[in-house]
Amino acid sequence: MVEPRIPHWVISLIITVTTIVVLVIGLLSLSLALYGGYLSITITEGLSGDEEEQHGSEQKYYLLGMIGIIVLLARLLNVPIFFWMLQSLVPYCPGAMCSYGVINVGAPYSSIALILKIILPFIYGVWLAIEVANRRQPVLPFIKHLARSFVIVLLPLVLIDSAVDVLLVAAIRPVYAPCCSSIYDVDPPFSPSTLFGPQFGLIILILTIILSLSLIAIQWFENRSVHLPTVSLVLALIVSFLYLVTIHDTLAPLVLGLADHHCPYCLFQEFPDTAFFAALFWMGVAAVGWRVILEYIWRKQNIQLENIKGITGLLLRLSSLSLLFSIVSLISHVLVSL
């Protein structure tokens, strides 16, 4: 008998604990999301029927909400595991000195996955915030909108998110790939200091600190003006960009002690706390958006904000503490490195 031959691409796959966990989360969340999409369609159709069908749709909505919470929390949990996976695969990729080498091996899926892991959790968080707030209302005013958005928006996003994870795990092989020094040491992207001098990077650093602290303060006085929530949202977008540039342009070379090495992946690898506080900064900025969007929707529907005061208050404190601790960490690393 001829023994079956195992395809070469299967043999060359890198199987680790983290790759298995990422795949399992992807498959389970996708399966639940597909069932949630089916429920969403039946709920939307039932709400247009008679009183008995409407009552049945309301009962199904609670199941949909639970499925949505489980799926989206699983996708949020997958984000730190994804970055942990990239770091854990460094020893398996010849030439890789940090996660950037693994990203080169898994391109283009790695770049797509990286962007999705930064953007999609915010969208997931918006749906979760509205769903939790909707349950606080006696008549469930957003049941139809949430059901429809689940099947139209969330289901395709979860499908894309999970599919890219699977393609990335399948694409990473133990092959040689250039690492960060080939890019960041030669022609570093997003580096104002390289173009305008090191003093410009210092200006961006100081501006990031000042605007982040201003964002914390403004949030606590939004009830004094109808325009301040918009100011907070715009300021959150600005400090997000400035923080990203600061990590790459100033913090990485300063903390690493290598003036021309702007690799954030090396920074996170050598100083893991910087990765934690960068994630915390993202959480602080995202919480601003979740709260402002939630309050805007409630105002637009002429619903009392008092019913969601507990949720918005939690998001306000989460944002303030996350931003504050992140900025304190940033300042501490700069002072220690000087």
The model's pLDDT over 153-197, given as tens digits with 9 standing for 90+, comes to 989 999 999 999 989 988 888 888 777 776 666 666 667 776 676
Task: Report the alpha-carbon distance of residue 113 to residue 304 in Å, rounded.
Answer: 39
| Confidence check: pLDDT of 5 > 70 | no
In the block, which residue shows the tokens 């805007």?
296
- Listed residue (242, 239, 148) closest to 190, CA to CA: 242
Q: Bigger pLDDT: 325 or 169?
A: 325
Task: Report the alpha-carbon distance of residue 197 to residue 141 in Å, rounded.
Answer: 55
Sign of the four-CA dihedral 197, 198, 199, 204: positive
Given a contact cutoff of 8 angstroms between Cβ atoms, the answer to whether 98 and 265 are in contact is: yes
pLDDT averaged over the chain?
86
Tell me the CA end-to-end span of the chain in Å, nearest whole number: 70
The size of the chain, in residues, is 338
Q: What is the rounded average pLDDT of the residues 107-133?
A: 91
What's the pLDDT at 2?
Answer: 43
Predicted TM-score (pTM) of the model is 0.88
Provide, rounded to the nearest whole percent, the portion of the chain with pLDDT above 90.
Answer: 36
Provide, rounded to the nearest whole percent, the portion of the chain with pLDDT above 70.
Answer: 92
**Six-digit token string for 143:** 């049941």
